[in-house]
């Protein structure tokens, strides 16, 4: 087991009606002037936003709001939020929504605490992040896990880049998880969420280290739970029990706990981000599109790992031929994604056309102009990235 630090300071309030505690939680975490961040309208339509405003008022808090966050959120909107936060002297940023809203709130929080620094400089690493403003979350979709994660992902539309910023300062101070707030989700978003939750667990599971019995067992249990409850939620989106399991798994899948003692792979996320940046596709769809090609490309570097996955997650086989089991596990995963209606290759994603030049360009961008490799299960250089993009157009 590799050394690790595990410190997740996010206070979780889970269950029905927990959003009513938002005012007291903001106060408890030091907020008095709150900037509320929300998305494209679902939180307004459901009446959630008005309930939140009511609770903030009751608690005697001053607040303003900024809406219009879109999936694949932009640094441009976050910059507007920073200007508003600075003008109102905000000391707390409250996200009401999903990963896109939460990541925008994180961006605003960082900009608000560091006036004078352009936000994107934190995302490129040109400036290192040393302080921020507290962020609280009222979650409306089980998916990205941003409500407890150390990461924030923004797109710079001016240069067509989607990048993640990893920092312990990204962890929200509280997260309100009421599964009922997700009852208005369209099936496609539920499917994208299930995919993302699985992928956050698998990115930490398909790693070179094999001496993490606890983390592996946690990851396998989480995957089985998501797969089973995902099936139920797709048929019955208002099933409280299924949505509860998905929501809690979403947070656990990305709060670091399933990967302690190893480095994490994250290649599929990096490959997928290039598709989202170029085609503005949902994050979950970018992942299911790249996973099959990635798995088929890398499994031979350690078929034993994929065979274990097939057995412990999908209940396949009883030992025996590792390679056969590994491939059966990949097939089962792809069949599950398809059953959710998720794309598993370029064609299903709707990529309009492709050729060698496209694979080269995607790989060039994913390698940050040939300045980095990605992945640990198999280290991928720019040529391997290109091969995997090509494979995603063929499988
Ligand atoms: O904008 P509104 O109207 O709210 O609609 C949203 C949006 O269209 C809708 N939605 C959310 N809750 C709803 C609802 N519709 C009806 N009822 C509800 N209760 O769902 C759509 C998707 O929302 P979004 O926030 O984009 O979804 P998600 O939570 O999947 O977040 C995706 C973003 O998070 C990033 C992704 O890259 C992507 O940009 N990620 C962030 C991570 C992190 N910070 O740790 C990790 C992830 O790997 C991921 O990269
Ligand atoms: Zn993700």
SS3 of residue 229 by DSSP: helix
Span 220-248, mean pLDDT? 98
* Pocket residue to mutate for ligand 1, from 69, 138, 283, most atoms within 8 A of Cβ: 283
362-371 pLDDT, tens per residue?
A: 999 999 999 9
- Distances in Å between the Cα of 374 and the Cα atoms of 68, 268, 292, 309, 363 are 33, 9, 17, 22, 11
Give residue 318's pLDDT band: very low, low, confident or very high (50, 70, 90).
confident
User: In angstroms, rounded to a whole number, what is the distance separating the alpha carbons of residues 283 and 276?
Assistant: 6
Span 177-191, mean pLDDT? 97
Beta carbon of 154 within 6 Å of any ligand 1 atom: no
Question: Which residue has its alpha carbon closest to ligand 1 atom 31?
Answer: 99
User: In angstroms, rounded to a whole number, what is the distance separating the alpha carbons of residues 247 and 99?
Assistant: 13
Question: Which residue has its alpha carbon closest to ligand 1 atom 20?
Answer: 189
Give residue 317's pLDDT band: very low, low, confident or very high (50, 70, 90).
confident
Q: What local confidence, expressed as pLDDT, does residue 118 receive?
A: 96
Backbone angles phi, psi at 37, to 5 degrees: -115, 130
Beta carbon of 135 within 6 Å of any ligand 1 atom: no
193-221 pLDDT, tens per residue?
A: 999 999 999 999 999 998 999 999 999 99
Q: What local confidence, expressed as pLDDT, does residue 359 receive?
A: 98
Span 149-153, mean pLDDT? 97
- Pick the atom of ligand 1 nearest to 41's CA: 3
State the chain's mean pLDDT as an integer: 97
* Pocket residue to mutate for ligand 1, from 40, 78, 100, most atoms within 8 A of Cβ: 100
Span 250-275, mean pLDDT? 96
Q: Given the DSSP bridges, would you call strands 92-97 and 33-38 parallel, antiparallel or unpaired?
A: parallel
In this structure, which ligand is nearest to the CA of 154? Answer: 1
Q: What local confidence, expressed as pLDDT, does residue 349 receive?
A: 98
Beta carbon of 71 within 6 Å of any ligand 1 atom: yes
Span 34-51, mean pLDDT? 97
63-96 pLDDT, tens per residue?
A: 999 999 999 999 999 999 999 999 999 999 999 9
User: Which residue, 197, 191, 285, is CA-closest to 247?
Assistant: 197
SS3 of residue 4 by DSSP: coil
Q: What local confidence, expressed as pLDDT, does residue 319 receive?
A: 67
373-388 pLDDT, tens per residue?
A: 999 999 999 999 999 9
pTM for the predicted model, two decimal places? 0.98
Beta carbon of 74 within 6 Å of any ligand 1 atom: no
Span 338-351, mean pLDDT? 98
User: In angstroms, rounded to a whole number, what is the distance separating the alpha carbons of residues 189 and 282?
Assistant: 9
Tally of helices (H runs) and strands (E runs) in the chain: 16, 8
* Pocket residue to mutate for ligand 1, from 8, 38, 39, most atoms within 8 A of Cβ: 39
- Which stretch of DSSP H or E encloses residue 43? helix 42-45
Question: With left for phi above 0 and alpha for psi between -120 and 50, is residue 115 left, alpha or beta?
Answer: beta
Strands (E) located in the chain: 11-14, 33-38, 62-66, 92-97, 135-139, 151-156, 161-166, 174-177
In this structure, which ligand is nearest to the CA of 288? Answer: 2
Beta carbon of 140 within 6 Å of any ligand 1 atom: yes
Beta carbon of 149 within 6 Å of any ligand 1 atom: yes
Distance 357 CA to ligand 1 centre (A): 31
Question: Which residue has its alpha carbon closest to ligand 1 atom 8?
Answer: 71
Q: What local confidence, expressed as pLDDT, does residue 295 receive?
A: 98
Q: What local confidence, expressed as pLDDT, does residue 219 receive?
A: 97
pLDDT for 320 beyond 80: no
Domains parsed from the chain with CATH numbers: 11-182 (3.40.50.1970), 188-392 (1.20.1090.10)
Beta carbon of 93 within 6 Å of any ligand 1 atom: no
Beta carbon of 198 within 6 Å of any ligand 1 atom: no
In this structure, which ligand is nearest to the CA of 192? Answer: 1
pLDDT for 272 beyond 70: yes
């Amino acid at each position: 087991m590799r050394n690790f630090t595990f410190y997740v300071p996010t206070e979780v309030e889970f269950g029905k009606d927990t959003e009513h505690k938002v005012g007291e939680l903001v106060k408890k975490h030091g907020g008095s002037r709150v900037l509320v961040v929300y998305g494209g309208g679902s939180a307004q339509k459901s009446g959630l936003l008005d309930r939140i405003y009511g609770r903030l008022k009751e608690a005697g808090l001053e607040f303003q709001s900024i809406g219009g966050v879109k999936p694949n959120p932009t640094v441009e909107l976050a910059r507007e939020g920073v200007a508003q936060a600075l003008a109102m002297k905000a000391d707390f940023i409250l996200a009401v929504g999903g990963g896109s809203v939460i990541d925008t709130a994180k961006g605003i929080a960082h900009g608000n605490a560091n006036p004078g620094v352009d936000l994107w400089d934190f995302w490129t690493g040109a400036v290192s992040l040393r302080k921020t403003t507290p962020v609280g979350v009222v979650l409306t979709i089980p998916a990205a896990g941003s409500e407890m994660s150390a990461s924030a992902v923004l797109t710079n539309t001016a240069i067509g880049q989607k990048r993640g910023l990893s920092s312990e300062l990204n962890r929200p101070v509280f997260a309100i998880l009421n599964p009922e707030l997700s009852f208005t989700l369209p099936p496609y978003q539920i499917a994208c969420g299930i995919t993302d939750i699985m992928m956050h667990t698998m990115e930490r599971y398909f790693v070179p280290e094999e001496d993490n019995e606890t983390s592996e067992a946690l990851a396998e249990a989480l995957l089985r739970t998501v797969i089973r409850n995902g099936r139920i939620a797709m048929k019955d989106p208002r099933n409280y029990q299924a949505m509860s399991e998905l929501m809690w798994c979403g947070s656990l899948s990305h709060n670091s706990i399933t990967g302690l003692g190893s480095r994490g792979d994250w290649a599929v996320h990096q490959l997928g981000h290039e598709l989202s940046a170029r085609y503005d596709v949902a994050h979950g769809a970018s992942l299911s599109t790249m996973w099959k090609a990635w798995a088929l490309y890398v499994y031979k570097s350690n078929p034993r790992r994929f065979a274990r996955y097939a057995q412990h997650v999908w209940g396949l086989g009883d030992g025996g031929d590792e390679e056969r089991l590994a491939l059966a596990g990949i097939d089962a995963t792809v069949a599950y994604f398809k059953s959710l209606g998720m794309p598993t290759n370029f064609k299903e994603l709707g990529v309009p056309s492709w050729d060698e030049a496209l694979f080269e360009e995607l790989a060039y961008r994913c390698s940050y102009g040939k300045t980095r490799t990605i992945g640990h299960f198999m280290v991928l250089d720019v040529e391997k990235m290109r091969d995997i993009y090509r494979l995603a157009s063929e499988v």
